[in-house]
Structure 1
């Protein structure tokens, strides 16, 4: 545990705490700052809380459910402004305020919350490019929204790739700090030593991520069908009728198992032969760092940002181009024959590195 001799007041805004990478990263950041002796507040726009956190982290929820539509947006912004002002009257001024996720950023911006850092955890231009396939109008509207929200604002990017995307592709003019998500290497290793259920048949490989178009479960299943390996593929994701149909259509019911999200995913990652990430876009995929800490082989698409900042040096051969099932299958087969990874540097993802950079922002 860390302790700071000059404790600060820090506030995080986020839409909710459903299962997701941004939500998990926010809780990890809040817990780490609390352990370091700082006063931490969470302000949620809606009452969805699927993560446990220490009661010393003060949590305020604006509404039970998100208010929809333009009027709903301004109602939420009004109440958020009132709530934030009330907290500061009771607790004193915050030294650092951070908003995460675009919808939450919309509300925070409309609420005129002062001195906010907007934390960007994805390559926004890739999102817009994908949206343009179905609707050029919506894509253009999304781009204008991002420029309006983030231009001339204070930004935290979770990777250098996200920063470059904001500057070169979204073309915003803002001061951007790159701060990777924090990882407690010792804690991850300790949790990874727990047993897995006896009904999990080894050997297996694993994919961890919500079921969404971005994560490319279709690509993964196509590659798995090409491989024909005598082991299972575990999908640690939310159960979905659509996903089960995708599995059945490829004749993979016997070798692909949807196991749902787990409170402690690390034993499943540790005991796997390989963790696969095949997304079209990421900001900084936490699961790659976590798998390496567990000593597990990894393979990842070289999507616009994140993976190439983690898989450096000898790990570069674990990167493949996006959207290529045949190459994904070929590289999985080759990497499974190699020893598990070791001797790599993850210090830029350590808790100490995170704290140093957050404290520098808070004390400006």
Structure 2
């Protein structure tokens, strides 16, 4: 039996915990023994059958401990590892804090660091000295997994070269989504935005401007929480308040995607663009900014016309109108590469390569 360890900052909200849980479930179904270590006491998800979750929380109690928190947390992880009856065949660390801890632990030379956000985001607007040097120390000559090729391209532009790299995208469980999407919603003839209202990344200001420019007759539904008051101010200033409806965060957003004419994403950057792939699974076309680093990789196979230049709000509005007028036909080939069995296959292959002692070198799709 192959043993796999995922280390993550937390298992709370956000796309990363959802992806880790889905991947763990798919690998457990392959008769792998899967353990997840959460470095925060923040676990909002039930473990899938056959998956073990361990919380290794560390709370610093002094400025000295805060300064050395990564190293102290790594000691806690190493102590737990020594107590395990067997070694792990594959170790994958997810998210920034976990990367810092792993690189100071006994797993530093063999763990894969899974990047789920474009690394250049850490440098955006920052005036803190040494930020680039810290990023280089974190990933240069390390084993790096990325959920989109654009992330590896970003590292390369910064002169950061992993020792070994590989691209394995997120799991999108089409069967589960297509079961969940069948519920009804109290709206018809609308377009939709699904996600947290976070102006820095998601650029809902650009979304609302593009919607106003598009001139489409469909209502815009906003599904998600976050900076709702600020978003409503922008909607009021554009004079479109009577055509924009904030429905809040929904436990099951898939019916809102499925019944929509179109899903719109206006982000400055994405890690993978999970909501894009989920919308395609729901059979709903997507219009997105051509931002780093996921949308272009998801919107392939003839869907490239649904991308708009990043800093051209008028083009995004035009794309909305064009796709409403002439929507593409969404087929299973647009999302089948993300299905659980396909992604699990790639992780199993990664384990087999490690077990044979061969290099997994090179960035592979």
TM-score (norm 1): 0.87
For 2:235 and 2:47, how far apart are their aligned partners in 1? 35
Question: Match for residue 121 of structure 1?
Answer: 116
Could you tell me which residue of structure 2 aligns to residue 218 of structure 1?
205
Match of 1:325 in 2: 313
Structure 1 contact 206–234 (Cα < 8 Å) conserved: yes
Structure 2 counterpart of 1:359: 348
Q: Residues 147 and 68 (structure 1 numbering): CA distance in 2 closer, same or farther, change over 3 Å? A: farther
Tell me how far apart the structure 1 counterparts of residues 80 and 304 of structure 2 sit (CA, whole Å).
50
CA contact (8 A) 1:219 1:324 kept: no
Determine the structure 1 residue equivalent to 2:177: 188
Q: Does 1:102 align with 2:96?
A: yes
Gaps of 5+ in 1: 1-6
* Gap change, CA 1:336 and 1:68, over 3 Å in 2: farther
Higher relative contact order (CA closer than 8 Å, sequence separation 6+): 2
Residues in 1 aligned to 2:201 and 2:60: alpha-carbon distance in whole angstroms: 23
In the TM superposition, what are the counterparts of 1:251-290 in structure 2 within 5 Å? Answer: 251-290=239-278
**1:319, CA displacement in angstroms?**
0.8
Task: Note the alpha carbon deviations across 1:70-98, whole angstroms, 9 max, x for none.
Answer: 62263454244334442453341111111
Is 1:347 aligned to residue 336 of structure 2?
Answer: yes
Residues 357 and 223 of structure 1: is their aligned pair in 2 closer, same or farther, counting only changes over 3 Å?
Answer: same
Q: Which runs of 5 or more structure 2 residues have no equivalent in the other structure?
A: 355-365
- Separation in structure 1 between the aligned mates of residue 169 and residue 16 of structure 2, nearest angstrom: 12
1:324-363 per-residue CA deviation (whole Å, 9 max, x = no partner) reads: 2211111101100124523444333222221121112223
How many residues were matched structurally? 349
Taking the TM superposition and a 5 Å limit, the aligned residue runs for 1:199-210 are: 201-210=187-196
Deviation per residue, 1:194-242 (Å, 9 max, x gap) = 233x3xx222211122222111111001112223443322222224333
Distance in 1 between residues matched to 2:155 and 2:64, nearest whole Å: 26
Whole-angstrom CA distance in 2 between matches of 1:174 and 1:306: 23
* 3-state SS of 1:194 partner: coil
Task: State the 1:184 CA deviation.
Answer: 2.2
1:276: how far off?
0.9
Name the residue aligned to 1:245.
233
The verdict on how the C-alpha distance between 1:207 and 1:141 changes in structure 2, with shifts beyond 3 A counting, is farther
Cα distance in structure 1, aligned partners of 2:215 and 2:306: 20
Deviation at 1:112, TM superposition (A): 4.2
CA-based RMSD: 2.4
1:172 corresponds in structure 2 to 161
Report whether the alignment pairs 1:60 with 2:47. no
Give the Cα separation in 1 of the matches to 2:18 and 2:249: 12
Match of 2:13 in 1: 19
Equivalent residue for 2:219? 232
More deviation in 260-269 or 339-348? 339-348
CA displacement at 1:284 relative to structure 2: 1.3
State the match for 1:312 in structure 2.
300
